[in-house]
Structure 1
Amino acid sequence: MPTASLLSLAGQQVVVDCGLGVTRGLADQGFALKDLSAIVITHLHSDHYLELGPLIHTAWTAGLKTPVQVWGPAGLQACWDGFLASMAADIAYRIHEEGRPDLAGLVQLYPLRLGDRVQIGALALAVGQSLHPPLTETFALRFEGAGRVVVFSGDTAHNPALADFAAGADLLVHEAMLAEGLVPLLARIGNGDGRLMAHWQRGHTLAHEAAALARAAGVKALALHHLIPSDDPDFGPVVWARHLAAHWQGPLHIGQDGLRIAL
């Protein structure tokens, strides 16, 4: 399923991105939806925020009654306002007939900007720049807490500056792409053209580039996610690991649904 992660660190649980399937993915991990409290969206492409509204609404119907803080690009407010408008009748019904708190009043949205530092409970979040044209509000995230550091690259073209941002992290979660898988993927999708291929090539990072960045940053472990391609049996985890063998010798995690990484 598309991009979503749950960071559990320093007594805080933060959902990073809300692609399709995030609600089911959280439930499958034993996460109590009514405890949802913090969400960070890295950028406004559908595979990172399509299920933001449904996640919060489902948590609300599951018993959520405490505030949810959401950080992301400034345009996220319009998405949330549109979701509330689309569900207005249902929300009003559930408030009146089921005695639930006002959903809109529970959610607080905060725009992220490059260089921001945000405190989420005991977690400190620093906001860096990812390179994902044509978007400009695209963020890398560095979380620090309980003596651990976890960095998310966000969707990005190869970005050498990320090495300084991720320096010394216990875990770098970085997007990755295999050049050999792009032509078969484009053919299988079938409703894109050369512009889709050009987007992949200018806006994403090849796997060996992600490994080189992890080495330069001196991170302790590397996890690859947002894989392109992600669901082609010809490019499964063994193939990804083989492509990385010459470039990264540290602990390596190849993203798949339900993967847990202990810190």
Structure 2
Amino acid sequence: MNSVTLLGTKGGPAIRPGTRMPTSILVQMDGMTVLVDAGLGVARGLCDAGVALTDLDAIIITHLHSDHYLELGPLLHTAWTAGLARTIPIYGPTGLAHYWHGFLNAMSFDVELRLRDEGRPPLEPLLDVHVLQDGETALGGLKLTAIRNAHPPIEDSFALRFEGASQTVVLSGDTAPIPEMVDFSHNADLLVHEAMLSAGIDALCKRVGNGDDRLRIHLERSHTPAAEAGRIATEAGVKRLALNHLVPCDDPDFTDAHWQEETARTWAGPLFIGTDGMKIPLD
């Protein structure tokens, strides 16, 4: 069954007791199992979704903020200890290879020990890093199209469109609202768009406690208010909308009712307010 599973739905890297986990999304279409982003908790999230870590066909990292790739190295190391013996292609921004080599260096004692003591295959070749750029890429029977979104100050940040034999899924990535997203999402069966409740920003910045006004400036210029995500979905004519990378998502003063009320200003179709482990069937 084709589906999209929101493994981690929290915007930002910090977790606290009772909060959701940072961003990762599982796309299962036309026989392909593709992981998009690898925030903290992704290995556990995949297992809870019933997916063996050794079954991933490809991994895509949309941009180099820690809540999107912090657990990439640990995920691959854990898959290796679970029996991974084939190369997994990974697509990500320039700089991702530097992260991978740094992770291998940090774990060199353990990796070299397991090579000698357990007869494991070499870990380094199991990840084949490709630089993600604007344009099309074939992933098995899927067509992947990437475009740069607007997530300053990061320039290499991407939205993704997956097209299969009969279904299309678009993931906005972390982005401010951009006009290009309407055409990019045109007629998609599902649009997963990041979303922010502007009314919750004051409380979030106060709760973080160790930043300054630059955090607010980043949030307001680099993310999308929920009503804008709804407008994009409406103008694009998508069939369903899911809100993801929720900011804030762990403030008891802001509930699903607030997200629904805000999005309903511009979107009247089926709406999913992302929660960790939410599986959205495409069939």
- Measured after TM superposition, the shift of residue 156 of structure 1 is 0.4
- Alignment partner, residue 142 of structure 2: 123
Distance 2:163 2:112 in 1: 39
Distance 1:109 1:101 in 2: 18
1:88 aligns with 2:98: no
- Measured after TM superposition, the shift of residue 36 of structure 1 is 2.3
- Alignment partner, residue 52 of structure 1: 72
Match among 30, 35, 41 for residue 21 of structure 1: 41
Match among 228, 235, 254 for residue 247 of structure 2: 228
* Cα shift readout 1:5-43 (whole Å, capped 9, x = no counterpart): 000000001000001111111011111112123100000
Give me the identity figure in percent: 54
Q: Return the letter of the residue paired with 2:208.
A: I
Aligned partners of 1:174 and 1:210 also within 8 Å: yes
SS state at 2:192 partner: strand
Distance 1:85 1:101 in 2: 17
1:76 aligns with 2:96: yes
Aligned partners of 2:133 and 2:146 also within 8 Å: yes
TM-score by length of 2: 0.91
- Alignment partner, residue 220 of structure 2: 201
- Measured after TM superposition, the shift of residue 245 of structure 1 is 1.9
* Cα shift readout 1:140-189 (whole Å, capped 9, x = no counterpart): 00001131000000100111111011111000010000011000111111
Q: Return the letter of the residue paired with 2:149.
A: S
Number of equivalenced pairs = 262
Q: Return the letter of the residue paired with 2:60.
A: V
SS state at 1:105 partner: helix
Match among 34, 41, 45 for residue 61 of structure 2: 41
Aligned partners of 1:37 and 1:66 also within 8 Å: no
Q: Return the letter of the residue paired with 2:210.
A: N
- Between stretches 226-235 and 239-248, larger displacement belongs to 239-248
Match among 250, 263, 273 for residue 254 of structure 1: 273
Structure 2 gaps of 5+ residues are: 1-20
Runs of 4+ in structure 1 off by over 2 angstroms are none
Counterparts in 2 of 1:102-121, with a 5 A limit? Answer: 102-114=122-134, 116-121=135-140
- Alignment partner, residue 119 of structure 2: 99
Q: Return the letter of the residue paired with 2:122.
A: D
1:181 aligns with 2:200: yes
Distance 2:115 2:57 in 1: 20
- Measured after TM superposition, the shift of residue 106 of structure 1 is 1.2
Distance 1:41 1:71 in 2: 6
Q: Return the letter of the residue paired with 2:108.
A: A
Cα RMSD after superposing both structures: 0.8
SS state at 1:19 partner: coil
- Alignment partner, residue 215 of structure 1: 234
